[in-house]
């Protein structure tokens, strides 16, 4: 059972091959509520430059591209399978130069300093080996005052393992407080937590913070 869980965590954490593409298809449907929730929280403006870290099948990118006709939606994901899927989903906007999706690690973003107005990530931070390094990178590419929105299923909703631990070494859950502490250390402030009160949408849970000037 432990081996199977490790395999599934691995596929969610970095989808690969045919199974990865199949999981990516499932993810787009499964995560649609929290993707739409997060996109709405971003309050995208027509000229915004927005970055997604860990875009998976690229559903949120597609939604944002519809709402940002004169800006740019960029994204990174370190899974080749997800890059392929998300590029296919967003092919028209990529051809128009409005969407730019790259294969890259969250901790090494291939963008210049202060390029983006907003950044976000959904169900991805659990898999980042060094979340603080990645958050500092996101802070670097955000303009001063830029918004970061992190959407997660909070740790309290995961349920502990039988030995009282949480998650696995490959997939670590966080509470809202954990994210605020990490974001503060990475140079963010003015935090707000948005949580959907409907129990069936427990993953509509977002910590928002602003890059210090």
Residue ranges binding ligand SAM (CB under 6 A): 12-15, 27, 31, 35, 54-57, 76-79, 82, 105-106, 122-124, 127-128
Q: How far is the CB of 16 from ligand SAM (least distance, A)?
A: 9
Report in angstroms how near the CB of residue 123 gets to ligand SAM at its nearest.
Answer: 4
Report d(CA 126, CA 44) in Å as an integer: 25
Rounded CA-CA distance 209/99 in Å is 24
Nearest residue (CB) to ligand SAM, 57 versus 209: 57
78 vs 188 by CB, closer to ligand SAM: 78
By the 8 A CB rule, do 116 and 74 touch?
yes
Nearest-approach distance from CB 193 to ligand SAM, in angstroms: 19
Nearest to 27 by CA among 59, 65, 66, 5: 59
Q: Are 85 and 64 in contact (CB under 8 A)?
A: no
Closest to ligand SAM by CB, 54 vs 154, is: 54
Q: How far is residue 61 from each of residues 109, 119, 156, measured CA to CA in Å?
A: 17, 11, 28
Q: Measured from the CB atom, is 168 or 212 closer to ligand SAM?
A: 168
Which residue of the chain is nearest ligand SAM when measured via CB?
56
Task: Give 47 or 195: the residue with its C-beta nearer to ligand SAM.
Answer: 195
- Tell me if 130 sits within 8 A of 107, measured CB to CB: yes
Cβ at position 86, least distance to ligand SAM in Å: 8
- Based on CB atoms, which residue is closest to ligand SAM, 33 or 162? 33
- Tokens of residue 46, six digits: 């027509």
CB of 213 to ligand SAM, least distance (A): 27
C-alpha span between 163 and 174 (Å, rounded): 18
Question: How far apart are CB 40 and ligand SAM at their closest, in Å?
Answer: 14
CB atoms within 10 A of CB 172: 16
For residues 133 and 20, the answer to whether their CB atoms sit within 8 Å is no
């Amino acid at each position: 059972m432990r081996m199977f869980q490790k395999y599934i965590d691995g596929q969610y954490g970095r989808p690969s091959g045919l199974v990865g593409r199949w999981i990516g298809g499932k993810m787009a449907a499964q995560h649609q509520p929290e993707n739409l929730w997060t996109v709405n929280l971003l309050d995208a403006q027509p000229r915004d430059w927005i970055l997604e870290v860990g875009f998976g099948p690229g559903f949120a990118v597609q939604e944002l591209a519809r709402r940002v006709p004169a800006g740019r939606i960029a994204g990174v994901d370190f899974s080749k399978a997800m890059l392929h899927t998300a590029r296919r989903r967003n092919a028209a906007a990529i051809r128009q130069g409005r969407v730019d999706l790259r294969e890259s690690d969250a901790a090494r973003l291939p963008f210049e300093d202060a390029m983006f107005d907003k950044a976000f990530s959904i169900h991805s931070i659990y898999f980042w080996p060094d979340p603080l390094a990645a958050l500092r990178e996101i802070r670097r590419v955000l303009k001063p005052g830029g918004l970061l929105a992190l959407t997660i299923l909070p740790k309290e909703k995961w349920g502990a393992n039988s030995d009282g631990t949480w998650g696995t070494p490959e997939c670590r859950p966080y509470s809202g407080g954990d994210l605020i502490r990490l974001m503060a250390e990475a140079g963010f402030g003015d935090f707000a937590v948005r949580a959907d009160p409907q129990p069936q949408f427990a993953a509509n849970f977002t910590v928002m913070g602003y890059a210090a000037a």
